Amino acid sequence: GWDLDPDRITRERAAWRDSQPDLERILFDETLRNGWPGESASWAPWHALRMLGAPRAIGCARRLVDLYDCPNDWLSDCLPQVWAQMGTPVETTLWDILDDPACEPDARGLAVSGLEKLVKNKSIPRLPTIHALAERLSPGRTDNALVNAYIVFVLENLDAVETKDAVRAAFEKKLVDTRIMDARSVSFLND
């Protein structure tokens, strides 16, 4: 079932390090991921994913984004939280995912959400992160309006008033998918 004791997993972080290869096999096992919710074994990938965050399994952080491309995906929504558990060392991986045009835009949005969670839990500094996100809104920098919408959404969540000019310019140049986020939804543009 869905019940999991995250505090216990965190306390026993070191014990899970040796299990990382097994946890990855469970996570990417199609027969488990495509099982019925009523079957106990079908919850194993969810538990494995949550357990990979605790021992800071940075080596698999990039591969986790592949979950988004899996049929019947129901695990990728957990990725930002799992990456946040991995702490500061996962930051570089998240920037790489965000900047990779070969990744699905929604998967890149998950990386942006992971960066947001790292800022909120103080694993990475806020100001350099919001400036780096805002810089990606400039023409020719991020290749996708949907990804830019996720960036604006996160800047709004972080109350990044410092990025007001970059966000406004991105909307004016029609670089943001307004079906996801429009200028009226950004509080610091309307103050």
**How sure is the predictor about 175, in pLDDT bands with cuts at 50, 70 and 90?**
very high
pTM of the model: 0.90
The residue to which tokens 């800047």 are assigned: 155
Amino acid at 135: E
The more confident residue out of 42 and 120 is 120
Q: Which of 5-14, 57-66, 78-87 has the lowest mean pLDDT?
A: 5-14
Please say whether the beta carbons of 79 and 110 come within 8 A: yes
- pLDDT, one tens digit per residue, over 64-77 is 999 988 877 888 99
- pLDDT, one tens digit per residue, over 151-169 is 999 999 999 999 999 999 9
Rounded Cα distance, 71 and 69, in Å: 7
- The distance between the two most distant Cα atoms of the chain, rounded to a whole number of Å, is 52
What are the DSSP calls for 32-71, one per residue? HHTS-TTSGGGGHHHHHHHHHHTTT-GGGHHHHGGGGGST
